[in-house]
Amino acid sequence: MASEFFSVGGSKLAITITPGDSGVLTVVVDGEKIFDKAGGDGHPNLDRVKELKAIVKDRAARL
């Protein structure tokens, strides 16, 4: 998942992927949380990863 995000966001965006205890996983792009497994987003399946990648790509295109 990380390589997918960094391939489209590159050095243009601040991307943070934070794994934690008990299955916690958050993804933050330029200070905005776009995914939080513990917050009800569940496990990121392939479709969800594609959606998140599209968000990252859109944010990078705006810069």
* Better-scored residue on pLDDT, 20 or 60: 60
Share of the chain above pLDDT 70, in %: 100
How many domains is the chain partitioned into structurally? 1
Say if 17 falls within a structural domain: yes
Domain that residue 35 falls in: 2-56
Say if 16 falls within a structural domain: yes
> What would the two tokens of residue 50 be?
């594609």
Per-residue pLDDT of 19-42, as tens digits, reads: 888 778 999 999 999 999 988 888
Edge to edge, what strands does the sheet with 25-29 contain?
Answer: 15-19, 25-29, 32-36
Say if 62 falls within a structural domain: no
Say if 34 falls within a structural domain: yes
- SS percent in the chain: helix, strand, coil, step 5: 50, 25, 25
Share of the chain above pLDDT 90, in %: 56
Say if 23 falls within a structural domain: yes
